């Protein structure tokens, strides 16, 4: 790389258009200052470098692997060709792959990994392969820094994996608050019926707790017979959730909308946004709903979620993780809310994209400055 050229940064995710982790990395690619960094985006499981609406200065590398674990050779070849000054990996199974390959990477390349969930809960309840625990403990020590979204997540990593506190950075997820607020004035998705309308967004997997939400909806509809639910997301539990929905007699009340590229188009008509997760780091869907002012009903999916939401106006936080507790919180919210009521949710301001990107840039600069000369 020529002298005085900007640092070359390689951001890594499986693909665009996924969940919150992918959204965070996309926002970083779009918003890291082009004059200060040479930004590359590696998409391990995408096959074509098509137009994705990214800025012209972001160089996209689609590696075309069928699965992340099968992309090791292609990823290593890309890294050796680019010789990035710093790699930032955005999701745990890709973190494992990058850190496993660390001894084969260019010596000067620094590695940051972003932790997108609470490690202890993921290991205990997330259905991860048996080797995930040993991999976490062995491989995360190879990272220059591990990024967490909340202090509670960081404390969990220290306790669960024995990582030193100075190897962990707590950075807020970037949320494009202004884009969301402007979009909901223009792009409105219709809701049917009188409601109340419940909205939940996330990957259809067990940790997201949509089965708890379906059982809670049965209890809610005893008092609000017209209550309905829209679930935005795709994932391995889709068939099982649809079967449970049918078994509970909820087919007329529940719509599975699939992956939503812009979930905020459903925010204007939503009575409440529901977070039914069993365990969760700090989901972007929750923050995006907060940016739009939608009332929130949530389970205490992690210490970070509970700390953020506890005592906030317009938020009903259940005392425990169960369908019954979720139903009770939903009923309390629906009984208290006026039609169309919205809240400022001031806590979302610290996640604004300019503040969050500045913090990520600061960590990148700090990590690069610490390289041996």
pLDDT at 102: 95
Residue for token pair 């082009």: 34
The CATH code belonging to domain 178-349 is 3.40.50.2000
Report whether 200 contacts 213 (CB < 8 A). yes
pLDDT at 262: 83
How large a percentage of the chain has pLDDT more than 70?
A: 93
Contacts of 282 (CB under 8 A, 6+ apart): 149, 150, 153, 173, 302, 304, 305, 308
Written as six digits, the tokens of 370 are: 């610490």
Tell me the pTM.
0.88
Q: Do domains 8-174+352-369 and 178-349 have the same CATH topology?
A: yes
Sketch the domain layout of the chain as residue ranges: 8-174+352-369, 178-349
17: Cα separation from own chain's centroid: 12
Alpha-helix runs per DSSP H in the chain? 20-31, 72-82, 92-100, 119-125, 132-139, 151-161, 177-183, 210-223, 238-247, 284-291, 303-309, 323-336, 353-369
275: Cα separation from own chain's centroid: 13
Expressed in angstroms, the distance from the first to the final Cα of the chain is 16
Residues 310-355: pLDDT tens digits?
999 999 999 999 999 999 999 999 999 999 999 999 999 999 999 9
The closest of 236, 249, 233, 237 to 211, measured between CA atoms, is 237
pLDDT at 129: 67
Written as six digits, the tokens of 106 are: 């260019």
Distance CA 128, CA 117 (A): 12
**Domain 8-174+352-369: what homologous superfamily?**
Glycogen Phosphorylase B; (3.40.50.2000)
Radius of gyration of the chain (CA): 21
Sheet holding 296-298, edge to edge: 254-258, 228-232, 197-201, 272-275, 296-298, 315-317
Residues 184-227: pLDDT tens digits?
876 567 888 999 999 999 989 999 999 999 999 999 999 999 99
pLDDT at 51: 59
Residue for token pair 């939940």: 200
- pLDDT beneath 70: ranges in the chain: 1-3, 49-52, 124-132, 186-188, 371-373
pLDDT at 131: 66
């Amino acid at each position: 790389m020529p002298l005085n050229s900007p640092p070359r940064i390689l951001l890594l995710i499986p693909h665009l258009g996924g969940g919150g982790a992918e959204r965070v990395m996309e926002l970083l690619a779009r918003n890291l200052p082009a004059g200060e960094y040479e930004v590359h985006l590696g998409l391990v499981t995408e096959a074509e470098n098509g137009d994705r609406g990214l800025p012209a200065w972001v160089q996209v590398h689609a590696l075309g692997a069928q699965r992340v674990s099968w992309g090791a050779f292609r990823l290593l070849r890309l890294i050796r060709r680019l010789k990035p000054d710093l790699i930032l990996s955005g999701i745990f199974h890709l973190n494992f792959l990058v850190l496993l390959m660390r001894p084969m990477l260019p010596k000067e390349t620094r590695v940051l990994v972003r932790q997108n969930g609470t490690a202890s809960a993921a290991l205990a309840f997330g259905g991860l392969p048996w080797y995930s625990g040993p991999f976490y403990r062995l491989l995360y020590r190879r990272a220059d820094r591990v990024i967490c979204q909340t202090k509670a997540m960081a404390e969990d990593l220290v306790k669960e994996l024995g990582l030193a506190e100075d190897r962990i950075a707590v950075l807020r997820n970037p949320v494009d608050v202004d884009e969301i607020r402007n979009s909901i004035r223009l792009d409105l998705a219709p809701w049917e019926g009188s409601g109340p309308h419940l909205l939940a967004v996330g990957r259809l997997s067990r940790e997201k707790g949509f089965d708890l939400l379906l059982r809670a909806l049965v209890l809610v509809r005893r008092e609000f017979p017209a209550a309905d639910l829209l679930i935005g997301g795709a994932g391995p539990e889709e068939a099982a959730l649809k079967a449970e929905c049918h078994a509970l007699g909820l087919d007329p009340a529940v719509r599975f909308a699939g992956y939503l590229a812009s979930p905020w188009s459903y925010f204007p008509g939503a009575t409440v946004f529901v977070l039914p997760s069993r365990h969760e780091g700090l989901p972007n869907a929750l923050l995006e709903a907060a940016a739009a002012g939608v009332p929130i009903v949530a389970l205490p999916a992690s210490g970070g979620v509970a700390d953020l939401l506890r005592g906030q106006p317009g938020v009903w936080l259940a005392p425990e993780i169960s369908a019954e507790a979720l139903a009770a919180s939903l009923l309390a919210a629906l009984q208290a809310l006026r039609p169309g009521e919205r809240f400022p949710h001031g806590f979302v301001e610290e996640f604004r994209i300019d503040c969050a990107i500045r913090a990520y840039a600061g960590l990148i600069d700090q990590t690069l400055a610490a390289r041996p000369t």
